[in-house]
């Protein structure tokens, strides 16, 4: 199964808001806006590869991370 990281923004700001700041990255199954932890994310939210998972300084949802690792071989 393919996954990607999708952003959640500080204070619930919209992805299009120029003042938006990323709060945490969630893991989603590709082409989905529902994080593995159950949080609904914006379709327009920034995404990045799961290859970036574990990058120092990258804020990642702990619940999503744990569920993601269970799906990896």
Q: Name the residue with higher pLDDT: 72 or 5.
A: 5
Q: How many domains is the chain partitioned into structurally?
A: 1
- Give me the pLDDT at residue 31, please: 83
Q: What is the pLDDT of residues 15-61, one digit of tens each?
A: 888 888 999 999 999 889 999 999 999 999 999 999 998 899 999 99
Structural domain span for residue 49: 3-71
Main-chain phi, psi angles of 12, to 5 degrees: 65, 20
CB 35 within 8 A of CB 61: yes
Structure tokens at 48: 């990045």
Question: How far is the C-alpha of 53 from the C-alpha of 17, rounded, in Å?
Answer: 25
For the whole model, what pTM was predicted?
0.89
Question: How far is the C-alpha of 6 from the C-alpha of 27, rounded, in Å?
Answer: 6
Question: How far is the C-alpha of 18 from the C-alpha of 35, rounded, in Å?
Answer: 23
């Amino acid at each position: 199964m393919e996954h990607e990281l999708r952003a959640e923004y500080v204070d619930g700001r919209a992805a299009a808001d120029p003042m938006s700041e990323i709060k945490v990255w969630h893991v989603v199954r590709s082409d989905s806006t529902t994080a593995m932890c159950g949080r609904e994310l914006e379709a327009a939210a920034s995404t990045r590869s799961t290859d970036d998972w574990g990058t120092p300084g990258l804020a990642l949802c702990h619940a999503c991370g744990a569920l993601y690792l269970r799906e990896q071989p």
